[in-house]
Each structure stands twice: as C-alpha cells, then as structure tokens.
Structure 1
Amino acid sequence: MRVFLLLFLLFPILELALLIKVGGAIGVLPTLLLVIATAILGSVLLRVAGVATAWRAREKMARGELPEEEMLEGLLIAVGGGLLLLPGFISDIFGVLCLIPFTRRLLVAKLRQRVAEQAMRQRAFADDLAARSGRTRPGAARPNVLDGEYERHD
C-alpha cells in the first residue's frame, strides 16, 4: 500500500521532470506537439485495437466459448489508451507497451498467472477456514477427526 502511495506521488514528479528535460533539449513547441501527437495516436490506437478485440470476443461468443483472453486484452488496451492520453513520456511508454500485440499478450499471460495464483491462495485459505469450523464444500473430502471422551485418573 505504501509503495502505491509513493508511486502515486512520485509519478507526476518524474513525468514533469522528463517533460522539462525534453523541452530543454528539443524546445517547448516540439515537446508540446509530441505530447499532443501521442494523445491523438493513443485515441486512434485505442479505437482500432478496441474494435478488433471486440470482434474477436464476439466471434468466440458466437462459437459458445468464453472470451476471457479478449476481455483481458480489452482491459489492457483501455489502460494503454488511457496512459497515452495522459501528458508525459513515461506514461506513453507504458501505454505503447499495453497496445503492442506482442507485449500485450505477454502481459495477459502474466496477469492470468497472477490471478490463478491468487485464486489458489484464496481457495487454500477458504478450505482451511472450512476445515477449522467443521464445514466443508459439497464434494470435498471431510477432514479426519477423531471424536471421543476421556477421563483423567490420578
């Protein structure tokens, strides 16, 4: 949580510092034109890639399959387009990485792996809680519990 807060506060400072550095190197007007061009490019790529992903998702649903890959790609396209619309060069780099099909597929694979690991941790935690409380899911193996009474004789 603290890392995200630090990044949230540090990111605009880094973006501004890089804009000033680039503006000092190539001039103010070319820097502004570059920022505007990346915003226009982001909106065009967002529209084109989003429509293509929507068509692939529609084709999968027509075949009776779930379009989970297309949904994740659509999410990354939206994030990438939004990052390109933001003024700054660091956000543009991350936005382009989200919009390039090769890197987007790598990000989707990594995201699916993280989601699967998180689901496995949650499932293990839920199974542990259920075993402790004596409740189990239907079809799940019941824990080995020996029930008995004892008396202590001194």
Structure 2
Amino acid sequence: MRVLFLLFALLPILEIAVLVHVGGIIGGWNTIALVLFTAFIGAFFVRQEGLSTLQSAQRKMQRNEIPGGEMLEGLMLVIAGVLLVTPGFITDILGLCLVLPPSRKWIARHAARHMSMRVVTAAQYHQQPSSQGFKRSSDSNVIEGEYTDRSGNDNSRLR
C-alpha cells in the first residue's frame, strides 16, 4: 500500500520535472508534439500486440489448453496502454517495456512465477478448522469433508 502511495505521489512530480527539462532543451511545442507522437505510436503497438495475443489465446483454447500466459500478457497490454497514453516520458518508457514482446514475456514469466509461489504458499498454510467441514488429512492429496445433499436423499455424510 505504501509503495502505491509513493508511486502515485512521486511519479507525477518526476514526470513534470522530466517534461520541463526536455522542454527546456527542445522547446515546449516540440515536447508536446513528442508526447502526442508517443501516445499515438503506443496505441498502435498496443493494438497490434493485443490482436496477436488474442489470436494466440484463441489457438490455445481451440487445443483445449488454458491461455493463462496470454491472459497475463493481455493484462500487461492494458496497463501498457494506460501508461503510453498518460503524458510523460517515464510512463512511456515503462509502457514500451510492457508492449515489446521480449520484455513483456520476460516480465510475464517472472510475474506468473511470483503469483504461483504466493498462491501455493497461501494454500499450504491456509487450513480451515474441521468444525466448518474441511480439514487437511495426513495425505496431502486427500481433503476430507462433509456435504449436504439437498435433493432429499439420506446420504448427508461422506468420508
């Protein structure tokens, strides 16, 4: 939470400082033109890469595979689109890193590994008390539990 606050507090200040510095070097109108140019080019690249990622996800779904990597890359392309349309050079550089396929795949691979470690860790240590119907047995592949059959049958407990 603190990192996001610092990011949202410091990033605009840094962007303004860079824009003023670049404006002092190449002129104000040229800086505005450069920011608009990067927004249009970024939107074009996001569209192209988004279509490519969508086609890849569709191919995987046709082979009955889960397009998890493509979904993560699609999310990264949405973030890249927001960053590229936001005025500023720092956000443009970050957005460009998320649009270019080699860097996007590298970031997605590391993000997926980080997320899977967090999910596995949370699943290993999150155990509900047996009074609520679930408990972890000694065999890690078996989860014992109770259920209620609401269809009227008398089989209300399963072991």
Give the shorter-chain TM-score range.
0.7 to 0.9
- Contact 1:84 1:95 (8 Å CA) reproduced: yes
- Contact 2:77 2:98 (8 Å CA) reproduced: yes
Give the TM-score normalised by structure 2: 0.81
Cα offset, 1:43, TM superposition: 1.1
Structure 1: 4+ residue segments shifted above 3 A: 129-135
Q: Which structure carries more relative contact order (alpha carbon 8 Å, separation 6+)?
A: 1
Cα offset, 1:140, TM superposition: 3.7
- Contact 2:136 2:143 (8 Å CA) reproduced: yes
User: What is residue 109 of structure 1 aligned with on the other side?
Assistant: 109
CA-based RMSD of the aligned residues comes to: 2.0
SS in 2 for 1:136: strand
C-alpha distance in 2 between matches for 1:134 and 1:66: 31
- Contact 1:42 1:82 (8 Å CA) reproduced: no
User: What is residue 44 of structure 2 aligned with on the other side?
Assistant: 44
Cα offset, 1:25, TM superposition: 0.8
Cα offset, 1:3, TM superposition: 2.2
User: What is residue 70 of structure 2 aligned with on the other side?
Assistant: 70
C-alpha distance in 2 between matches for 1:57 and 1:42: 22
Decide whether aligned partners of structure 1 residues 103 and 131 sit closer, same or farther in structure 2, where only a CA change above 3 A counts: farther
Give the TM-score normalised by structure 1: 0.84
Give 1 or 2: higher helix fraction: 1
Structure 2: state its 5+ residue gaps: 145-159
C-alpha distance in 1 between matches for 2:131 and 2:17: 54
Would you say how many aligned residue pairs link Structure 1 and Structure 2? 140
Identical aligned residues as a percent: 38
C-alpha distance in 1 between matches for 2:88 and 2:130: 52
Deviations 1:92-116 (A, max 9, x none): 0000000111110111111111111
Decide whether aligned partners of structure 1 residues 35 and 140 sit closer, same or farther in structure 2, where only a CA change above 3 A counts: same
User: Highest CA radius of gyration, 1 or 2?
Assistant: 1
